[in-house]
Chains A and B, each alone.
Chain A
Amino acid sequence: MPELTQSALSSKSGFGRLALLVFFLGPAVVIYAAFSVYPLIATMALASFTTDQAGAYHFAGIDNFILLLTDKDWRGPFWNALGNNVLFFIIHMLVQNPIGIAIAGLLSLPALKFRATYRTLIFMPTMLSVVIIGFAWNLILSPLWGVSEGFLKFFGLGSLFQPWLGLEGSALITIGLISVWQFVGIPLMLIYAALLNIPEELVDAARIDGLSHLRIFFHVKLPLIMPTIGLVSILTFVGNFNAFDLVYAIKGALAGPNFSTDLLGTFFYRTFFGNQLQLGSPTMGATVATAMFLIILMGVCVYLFLVQRRLERHSF
């Protein structure tokens, strides 16, 4: 009944109406604008300035971005972090999301016992702090403790053990899998919810036609939850290209060994705060943050204009 709503408001004077809107929207808009939107814009503006020896700011246009992409001291670390981040994202897409979909599929089977218990247990790691999880896995995979080695020996695979987190070739993949282990709960829950929303008549019809649970899942349910899988993918993308805590907890800001676990988040942190190897720079830090913003924006645009549109047609 929008007319009534309208009349309830329009019966008030223009001032009373404005006061009401300010009362309801004011606090949220002010806090959000001051501590979220303004900092983002100001950071992007800062990216187009440089500082001189005296600390004064000078307008530099896109010089910082050119420096980031072409200078020999900046180019290498930036592309390294970006490349690592892409690999980090691919690991999540190939391991985390398929496992999430598979377990959600199993949990949504009709007449499954202990459903709530499984859900509670499997979601538990997602509730814990990335920092705590990072330290815990650091200990578990440490050759000093020997838990993982002993575990592999139990299955006769002791010779496979390596200090994965310490080796340049495997550290990033290991951290990626730890992150997958922790966050698999998110795609699991989102997809589980989408599966529960599928109209029962559709599934029943397929069952009467004699399709197995497995075929119903792949031919009936999976196409219907494609929009949710698209949403999960973009959430994974934004989360991954913004990741920092796990690498920082396990490897520190230097993202060793030899920067092999450096992500854009840790690169941003080092650029802004500095470290043993270089001085921190707010303007270059802002440049890296802006580059991250543009990468995330590109991902969101691809999702909104390509993925989501195409998927919406299949949804019901």
Chain B
Amino acid sequence: MSRRFGPAAVHVILIAYSLIALMPILLVVMNSFKARKAIFGAPLALPSSETFSLIGYSKVLGNSNVGMFFFNSVSVTLISMASVLLFGAMAAWALAEYRFKGSTLLALFLSIGIMVPIRLGSISILHTMVSLDLINTRLALILVYTAQGLPMAIFILSEFISQIPKDLRDAARCDGVPEIAIFFQVIAPLLRPAIATVAVFTVVPIWNDLWFPLLLAPGKETQTITLGIQQFIGQYVTDWNSVLAALSVAILPVIAIYLIFSRQLIGGLTAGAVK
């Protein structure tokens, strides 16, 4: 066996796998910009001036409430993320900083949710939401997603808080700064780098979820983009232009955001993965 694994061979393998990862996505996006004939005639060709067509997009954007679905997804995801970060950071701070009776037990209680999927409690969640009259509201989704995201966020943020030098808060305490101000003015700004890590573990699953929108908010007014696209495609199965355009409408913004933040996202993921 050669002493060194040839560098060329490594690149060949990595390029090949990158193609496997990208091809299906490219294929869908590429063909969404083509006329029906070209989709079937030459699926692997890039759209040219003759085959270029936006008919699928005009149907998707005209026919369905994509704008509203987007607004629903964005508002549900952002508010859920904000509450996961705020409440998660506050709880992580209390657990890491204060010693009180039952703190270990409480930490254990809060970590159950890391391993046990919240989905298994769906029947009772549905009953609760019915009795609170929250069915077909974005609030129902926000409450469930916050509960779902908290355990992981508390776990990651506790690790992060325990790495912050103790001198900082002790100096503030000596100056007589109240505890709540220490958290919001000294600790919270330092947590910024951990936001990316928490975001990967909370935002992505929330944005992509189908289960809870299907269960708790299937109404036209409150559908998220994932559910909306799923139902739109169900109605237009045979209209390939519309289906491909609908898929691209769901894919492209996520990829754009991913490419902008990929460094932080992957950095966050590898940092959070330690252990």
Q: Digit string of A185-203 for contact with B (CB within 8 Å is 1, else 0)?
A: 0000110111011000000
Among the listed A43, A228, A300, which residue makes an inter-chain contact with B120, where contact means beta carbons less than 8 Å apart? A43
Q: Give the A-binding residues of B (Cβ under 8 A).
A: 1-5, 7, 10-11, 13-14, 17-18, 20-22, 24-25, 27-28, 39-40, 43-44, 83, 86-88, 90-91, 93-95, 97-100, 106, 109-110, 112-113, 115-125, 127-128, 143-144, 146-148, 150-151, 154, 166, 170, 173, 179-180, 183, 204, 207-211, 226, 229-230, 233, 240, 243-244, 247, 250-251, 254-255, 258-259, 262-263, 266, 269-271, 273-274
Ordered by A's residue number, 5 sampled pairs between the chains whose C-beta atoms are within 8 Å are A125-B25, A145-B40, A189-B273, A193-B271, A292-B120
Q: Give the B-binding residues of A (Cβ under 8 A).
A: 1-2, 4-6, 8-9, 17, 20-21, 23-25, 27-29, 31-32, 34-40, 42-43, 46, 99, 103, 106-107, 109, 112-114, 116, 118-125, 127-133, 135-137, 139-140, 145-147, 150-151, 181, 189-190, 192-194, 196-197, 210, 212-214, 228, 234, 238, 242, 244-245, 248-249, 265, 272, 282, 285-286, 289-290, 292-293, 296-297, 300
Besides A28-B91, A31-B147, 7 new A-B residue pairs in contact (Cβ under 8 A), listed by A number? A25-B95, A31-B87, A35-B125, A39-B122, A40-B121, A106-B13, A189-B269
Q: Are the C-beta atoms of B88 and A212 separated by less than 8 Å? A: no
A27 to B204, CA, bound (A): 23
Residues of B within 8 A of A137 (CB): 24
A254 to B86, CA, bound (A): 40
Q: Are the C-beta atoms of A150 and B14 separated by less than 8 Å? A: no
Q: Are the C-beta atoms of A46 and B266 separated by less than 8 Å? A: no
Among the listed A120, A129, A234, A245, which residue makes an inter-chain contact with B250, where contact means beta carbons less than 8 Å apart? A129
Residues of B within 8 A of A300 (CB): 115
Chain A contact residues: helix, strand, loop or mixed: helix
Cβ of B135 to closest chain A Cβ, rounded Å: 14
Among the listed A4, A39, A109, A297, which residue makes an inter-chain contact with B10, where contact means beta carbons less than 8 Å apart? A109
Residues of A within 8 A of B170 (CB): 1, 4
A23 to B255, CA, bound (A): 38
A32 to B270, CA, bound (A): 26
Cβ of A285 to closest chain B Cβ, rounded Å: 5
A20 to B182, CA, bound (A): 12
Q: Are the C-beta atoms of A121 and B243 separated by less than 8 Å? A: no
Q: Are the C-beta atoms of B120 and A31 separated by less than 8 Å? A: no
Residues of A within 8 A of B93 (CB): 24
